Amino acid sequence: MHLGPLTRLSDDEQMFVNEVEKFAASTIKPKVMEMDESEKMDKSVIDGLFEMGLMGIEAATEYGGAGGSFFMSILAIEALAKVDPSVSVLCDVQNTLVNNIFYRYANAEQRKKYLPRLVSKEVGSYCLTEPNSGSDAFAMKARAHDEGSHWRLEGKKIFITNAKEANIFVVFANTNPEIGYKGITAFVCERGMPGFSVGKKEVKLGIRASSTCEVILDNVKVPKENVVGEVGKGYKIAIETLNEGRIGIAAQMLGLAQGALSGAMTYARQRVQFGKELRDFQGVQFELADLATQVEAAKLMVYNAARLKDAGLPFVKEAAMAKLYVGDVAEEVASRALEIYGGYGFIKEFPAEKFYRDAKIGKLYEGTSNMQKATIFKLIDGQMK
């Protein structure tokens, strides 16, 4: 278990962050605005993530992964988001959701078949949300019919991250709606299966290079061996995975806030008004000091939740608190940092407006802020009884 200040990194952790930041600066940063405008992830960026080992950080070395910790995944997600939150969430979903499901819940054959592909060359996607089941994710209509020799899946998923780039999909469907969430089961589907298709790509306010698509299940024939875990255990798999995923989203928003703050700090050194740099005005100093304090508090919450998870200690409350608080901080910092630029903050020549647009999603996906509040209250209420 980590000892000492929560935000102090070990030498190995700091070296890892340095390498990720170098990659982000050299490979991602030059393409950020082009990817945002085209609403498309550059293939060289995806290839670079695989080459850097950032798509299999926790996966065991026997599968080609880095054999790292959950905390290292969080550090990578944070570092990438300082430059582009769109790239960060691609890495986040791969590590904290898709890969996580395989090395925690899949059997030996499934891990051997899919993890080497996921860590080396193929993007994964997590398919839970449906048109009529958002926060109430388990009111799902997607059905899985037992056909004896195989399962037949039918339904539609929406708002599916990484769907455009993915080849491997973890799909949740209900085998028996009459028993509610107890029928929900996780299945592995692959691009190219008859009846499986990726539908329209959503046009979004922010994280535009990150694909968000429909996934259509038109009587998809899925082998029996593609059930992850046990039939009826999909609810448990989804809930437990999303608990960890919330820390990943909090890390993404933390990196975003740091990127926005760093940009404002740089601009305050460059911009001269009334014969002085902006940073020489006390009002600007106080504003930046306030934002830096919020970012530091956010970092403490994210790192605390991640270290608790790695230590095998309860972390669900802390994960929900981190996502709730850091989502607020990211939006606040991005907005106020933009104002440091004045009118320049409103144009695309500077990164402020993109960080501002990207920040909003942090309060919406992988559990809205209100859902985090409901989780937090339930847990603190139970502690006080």
Domain locations in the chain?
Answer: 11-122, 125-234, 236-383
The whole-number pLDDT of residue 382 equals: 80
The whole-number pLDDT of residue 6 equals: 78
With tokens 């969080």, the residue in question is 74
Confidence of residue 4 (pLDDT cuts 50, 70, 90): low
The whole-number pLDDT of residue 137 equals: 72
Q: How far apart are CA 77 and CA 257, in angstroms?
A: 13
Q: Is the dihedral of CA 146, 150, 155, 161 positive or negative?
A: positive
Decide if 366 is catalytic: yes
What are φ and ψ of residue 341, in 5° steps? -75, -15
CATH class of 11-122: mainly alpha
Q: Which of 58, 122, 165, 366 is catalytic?
A: 366
Question: What letter does residue 69 receive in the DSSP assignment?
Answer: -
Task: Tell me the pLDDT tens digit for each residue of 28-62.
Answer: 999 999 999 999 999 999 999 999 999 999 999 99
The whole-number pLDDT of residue 1 equals: 43
Task: Tell me the pLDDT tens digit for each residue of 212-255.
Answer: 999 999 999 999 999 999 999 999 999 999 999 999 999 999 99
Which residue type does 172 have?
F
For the domain made up of 236-383, give the CATH fold.
Butyryl-CoA Dehydrogenase, subunit A; domain 3 (1.20.140)
Which homologous superfamily is 125-234 in? Butyryl-CoA Dehydrogenase, subunit A, domain 2 (2.40.110.10)
- Which has the higher per-residue pLDDT, 265 or 2? 265
Kindly tell me if the per-residue pLDDT of 18 is higher than 80.
yes
